[in-house]
Structure 1
């Protein structure tokens, strides 16, 4: 039984969007016969410092054979309550501040750096008890990559890094985030140089990194996101009820990067069509990644309240199947950057229902949707194109027949987690056994 140390800062009960890939990876590995140890953040970080950003029901989907370690961490940058300050910080606040900011400049430029000591202690202790064969890290945060690099060298085992997001550039704006030759670019160069494999969620991101690090290009692979039949179930074909108003839904985190204004205006125009005159656009999900972002995002959604845009708040991952059953068509609204795939698109396809795209036409998710028979998208990201897509999707929802539904599910089945993760698991096994 190969033994893997999996570094994933965000893991259930966290509700962060990256959790689903990490959860699926850990579950898939243990079901494939691996001994899996996950090192993640302490529960208190999600419940207290992120204001209860947790989904307890999601934690129940973690395979009980997975060993989950939650070492304590220094939350200097996240702690604002002086009553919870440590003794050194209370006695010498200026010195503590200087030391912290120096660590950002000289060691690693992420606020998650306080996680590192606990991870290292836990990893070394577990390795001394029973040797790990492989280290896998998923990011963000990318401090997990730096730790994987260090532990791979220390344990003399291969390590693999999984880029859920881009590191040195922002995949939403496509802008490089760090100066060339600076601390973080140096770290990424080391991590990529020595990694046994570098994994990306889409080919656009892989190509960007292959161009930047050509010596490592042969070790770069794509592992798409996917969907879990064990969580969502298998939908049954059901003809639309002609006597009921159509219901469109967006599910997922609503971030400030989304083209919300285009979505709302396109929906408003579409509702002038008789098919959509009484239709509703439901929005399900958290507003932003952090609570403070909600105040800026909510008014942008509320601008469409008079046109049938209804915000329902957050939902549990385990409740997603019910929400999908109650909708007639899905709205895939994401930032317009070519490196963006999003995890929700896979679940959307697994419903066998029409999907309306509200994003730039050349993003990475378009490659996944290509071939899905109920995908409706315009050539431009503007209100008129979006309205046309809504109207076309409404017609498809009313006319959906069994053959089209079955064809949609066949396309979605290419992206079950088992389908996307099995080839990766085979490569990881070869690395752990020293065959690659």
Structure 2
């Protein structure tokens, strides 16, 4: 298998965990997996160190990782690193880049595609690929899978971690109808052997838009990795110790932070919340310029026990979870959003409180979790009530409830979610 996954360890982007788990699972099941991912320089220099080196050590050693070169034109801001042509003819080079975006593929990652195609072709001549799998975003990987599948005359599969042509947070189409991007998506889906989505809402949207591919559209939910998180131990709540609430994950500008913090401020005087702390664990945004604006939204609430704890490695997540009583599931609201974090949350067996708009796709996963608290609206008052109720759940939790929570989470291990998909992929190449 050739697996096109631009974001892959050591990147710390949220989609990396699905890609890592997919490659590892396939290798474990006997596939010879070659991953094409971005050059290391992209994560360490152009994204200013947005990487987690420890995560790279968790890749199955049987997975072959290849990093085709990439033209960094849209990401390079340092004139000292410009090519000779760009230094001498900046306007002409910019016009050439704009033309490529309009005529070839509208995405800044286009500069990765030529090397992917060239490298894959040379590898295929030595040892033929049976299948191409691509995950997006970015969706240049889908375009590359389409071309390689056609050249190699092998099946290809596309895995939508995110939506391509519409914004799943605002539920609006992102590109002009009938435009170049829309035509690319239709072309990719017409030839794909399978089209995979992370939740049914995403699948239904695409089924309505591309009915010709509806029978090839499936759902492969995200999951969690026992090898990274282990199995937690039951711990009775200590009534003499204040509760600790935690949010774990990248803190983006889309999160309803003010609603969460105002709800927290309103809830904290309640007896069950006495002395409680709300700890925020994770990176602030994905780019350096995002840090200050997000931090400015957190700092005013320090006096109410809201603490920014900094980033942590994925390999340290189990210890962060162990020090938490209640997990705060705060995400942008949309019926198309699941989030990979919810699966890890469930794997802890701890109470989870939702802070998001009702109707989120993740609610389908959480509905049978025995210690989930959610309100039917996203307001500070509703959040306060949910926080208090989740705190009471933490105080009352017993071993039986804890074991029921873990049993529910076991349905979403990566092996459980990826197993049926692997069988379908295997059937494509027989």
Q: Calculate the TM-score normalised by the size of structure 2.
A: 0.99
**Which residue is equivalent to 2:317?**
320
**2:139 is equivalent to residue 131 of structure 1:** no
Structure 2 partner of 1:50:
47
The 3-state SS of whatever aligns with 2:100 is: helix
SS in structure 1 opposite 2:354?
Answer: strand
Q: 1:118 — aligned with what?
A: 115
Please name the residue that 1:26 is paired with: 23
Report the Cα distance in structure 1 between the residues aligned to 2:284 and 2:175, rounded to whole angstroms: 27
Q: Deviations over 1:131-161 (max 9, x none)?
A: 0000000000000000000000000000000
Of 413, 416, 425 in structure 2, the residue corresponding to residue 416 of structure 1 is: 413
2:115 counterpart SS class: helix
Supply the distance in 1 between the matched residues of 2:14 and 2:149 (Cα, whole angstroms): 27
The corresponding residue for 1:395 is 392
**Aligned residue number for residue 266 of structure 2:** 269
Asked if 1:12 corresponds to 2:17, the answer is no
Shift of 1:277: 2.1
Partner SS for 1:312: strand
* 1:67 aligned onto 2:45: no
Q: Distance in 2 between matches of 1:288 and 1:175?
A: 23
Equivalent runs, 1:200-219 vs 2, <5 Å: 200-219=197-216
Mean Cα deviation higher: 33-42 or 395-404:
395-404
Q: Is the 8 A contact 1:13 1:56 kept in 2?
A: yes
Q: CA–CA distance in 2 between the matches of 1:349 and 1:116?
A: 38
Residues 235-267 of structure 1, C-alpha deviation per residue, up to 9 Å, x if partnerless? Answer: 011111222110000000111111111100111
SS at match of 2:246: strand
The superposition leaves residues 26-66 of structure 1 with CA deviations (integer Å, 9 ceiling, x where unpaired) of 00000000000000000000000000001000000000110
Q: Which moved more, 1:74-83 or 1:288-297?
A: 288-297
> How much is the aligned-residue C-alpha RMSD, in angstroms?
0.7
Unaligned stretches of 5+ residues in structure 1: none
- 1:342 is displaced (CA, Å) by 0.3
Q: In 1, Cα distance between the equivalents of 2:237 and 2:53?
A: 34
**1:233 corresponds to which residue?**
230
SS at match of 1:287: coil
User: CA offsets per residue over residues 77-116 of structure 1, 9 Å max, x none?
Assistant: 1101111111221222121111001001111110000001
Q: Distance in 1 between matches of 2:349 and 2:413?
A: 14
Question: The residue matched to 1:77 in structure 2 has which SS?
Answer: coil
User: In the TM superposition, what whole-angstrom CA distance separates every residue of 1:152-185 from its partner, at most 9, and x where no partner exists?
Assistant: 0000000000000000001111111000011100
Quick check: 1:40–1:68 contact (8 Å CA) kept in 2?
yes
Runs of at least 4 residues off by over 2 Å: none
Equivalent residue, structure 1, for 2:101: 104
Equivalent position SS for 2:291: helix
TM-aligned CA deviation for residue 303 of structure 1: 2.5
Aligned mate of 2:286, from 282, 285, 289: 289
Distance (Å, rounded) in 2 between the aligned partners of 1:389 and 1:373: 15
Deviation of 1:335 after TM superposition, in Å, equals 0.3
- 1:355 equivalent in structure 2: 352
Match of 2:193 in 1: 196
Query: Which one of the candidate residues 131, 143, 148 is aligned to 1:146?
Result: 143
* Structure 1 residue 298, shift from structure 2 partner: 1.2
Whether 2:243 is the aligned partner of 1:255: answer no
Residue among 368, 371, 383 paired with 2:368: 371
How far apart, CA to CA, are the structure 2 residues paired with 1:378 and 1:126?
53
Q: Secondary structure at the match of 2:33?
A: strand
Contact 1:264 1:303 in 2 (8 A): no
The 1-side partners of 2:107 and 2:297 are apart by: 30
2:377 is equivalent to residue 380 of structure 1: yes
Match of 1:91 among 88, 91, 109: 88
For structure 2, which runs of at least 5 residues remain unmatched after alignment? none
- CA distance in 2: counterparts of 1:413 and 1:425, whole angstroms: 18
CA distance in 2: counterparts of 1:290 and 1:143, whole angstroms:
21
CA distance in 2, matches of 1:387, 1:319: 30
Tell whether the 8 Å contact from 1:333 to 1:357 is kept in structure 2 after alignment: yes
Write the distance in 1 (CA, Å) between the matches of 2:176 and 2:38: 29
Further displaced range: 45-54 or 75-84: 75-84
User: In the alignment, is residue 177 of structure 1 matched against residue 186 of structure 2?
Assistant: no
